[in-house]
Amino acid sequence: MIFLKTEDEIELLRQSNLLVGKTLAEVAKLVKPGVTTRELDKVAEEFIRDHGATPTFKGFPNQYGEPFPASLCTSVNEQVVHGIPGDIVLKDGDIVSVDCGTYMNGFCGDSAYTFCVGEVDEEIRNLLKVTKEALYIGIQNAVQGKRIGDIGYAIQQYCESHSYGVVREFVGHGIGKEMHEDPQVPNYGKRGYGPLMKRGLCIAIEPMITLGDRQVIMESDGWTVRTRDRKCAAHFEHTIAVGAGEADILSSFKFIEEVLGDKAI
């Protein structure tokens, strides 16, 4: 069932999502060679709790195994999504996709950003650039009167025009009092298909795009998803609210990019 949000509920969602953006900015300060993904997670959890919220990912149930053990998903290089923070040491030339969720005032926040670690090859930087651009192209199609398939179609066409793979198995989603609500929001699809978007619909749009083949496999931990061909993948995500005109972006990359400066994608 799709739950449309009131203006007051959208403002509560905005607060949770802005906290996600600020948390990712704290992470951005630490992303460099020699840092472990566990260190990123520790800083993020402390920041979230210090601001009166809880990390929604920690303890999230898993049909394939144990609940998620951390506050961030940190997916390095060929890892697409749901990477578990741990003893992985970031190296010069790596990329790391950091997905963060918060719960505050009864509503969830959810956003993701892929960071460069040190000096990254131009081929990989271009993957990140196109994935981020695809996110905003998807958002441009999240308007009242269009359908969910219009978002996926726009993202798919843009990414495939650059010869990138568009992951099918993992998609965006509705968001509100629960982190995952209806409808699902694929990054592929057909124009004019899927649920009709109405004012008050709040969704997380999150392109997951691969440098090579779109096929993915799940690692033995039951969480980490990586590309089958072990080529890199990028992941950017915003939570938005559908309005009468253009979408209202509730999350923010502004805080991240203030930290990154001219190193931002």
Give the pLDDT confidence score for residue 150 in this predicted structure.
98
Q: Report whether 50 belongs to an annotated binding site.
A: no
What is the residue extent of each domain of the chain? 5-261
Q: How confident is the model at residue 263 (pLDDT cuts 50, 70, 90)?
A: confident
- Taking alpha carbons only, the member of 149, 143, 151, 129 closest to residue 206 is 151
Contact 123, 78 (CB under 8 A): no
Q: Report whether 11 belongs to an annotated binding site.
A: no
Q: Which residues of 156-173 are buried (b: 16+ CB within 10 A; e: fewer)?
A: bebbeeeebbbbeebbbb
pLDDT digit string, tens, across residues 194-211: 999 999 999 999 999 999
Here the tokens at position 67 are 């609940």
pLDDT for 50 beyond 90: yes
Q: Report whether 99 belongs to an annotated binding site.
A: yes
State the Cα–Cα distance between residues 72 and 252, nearest whole angstrom.
17
Q: How confident is the model at residue 19 (pLDDT cuts 50, 70, 90)?
A: very high
Give the pLDDT confidence score for residue 92 in this predicted structure.
98
Q: How confident is the model at residue 244 (pLDDT cuts 50, 70, 90)?
A: confident
pLDDT for 64 beyond 90: no
pLDDT for 158 beyond 90: yes
State the Cα–Cα distance between residues 146 and 108, nearest whole angstrom.
25
Give the pLDDT confidence score for residue 31 in this predicted structure.
98
Amino acid at 171: V
State the Cα–Cα distance between residues 24 and 107, nearest whole angstrom.
18
pLDDT for 22 beyond 90: yes
Give the pLDDT confidence score for residue 65 in this predicted structure.
82
Q: Which residues of 133-151 are buried (b: 16+ CB within 10 A; e: fewer)?
A: bbbbbbbebbbbebbbbbb
pLDDT digit string, tens, across residues 163-189: 999 999 999 999 999 999 999 999 999
State the Cα–Cα distance between residues 125 and 147, nearest whole angstrom.
31
Q: Report whether 121 belongs to an annotated binding site.
A: no
Give the pLDDT confidence score for residue 178 in this predicted structure.
97
With a pLDDT cut of 90, the percent of the chain lying above it is 96
Contact 112, 206 (CB under 8 A): yes
pLDDT for 216 beyond 90: yes
Q: Report whether 110 belongs to an annotated binding site.
A: yes
CA angle 30, 240, 62 (to 5 degrees): 65
Contact 117, 94 (CB under 8 A): yes
Average pLDDT of span 69-79: 98
The mean of the pLDDT values for the chain is: 97
Domain topology for 5-261: Creatine Amidinohydrolase (3.90.230)
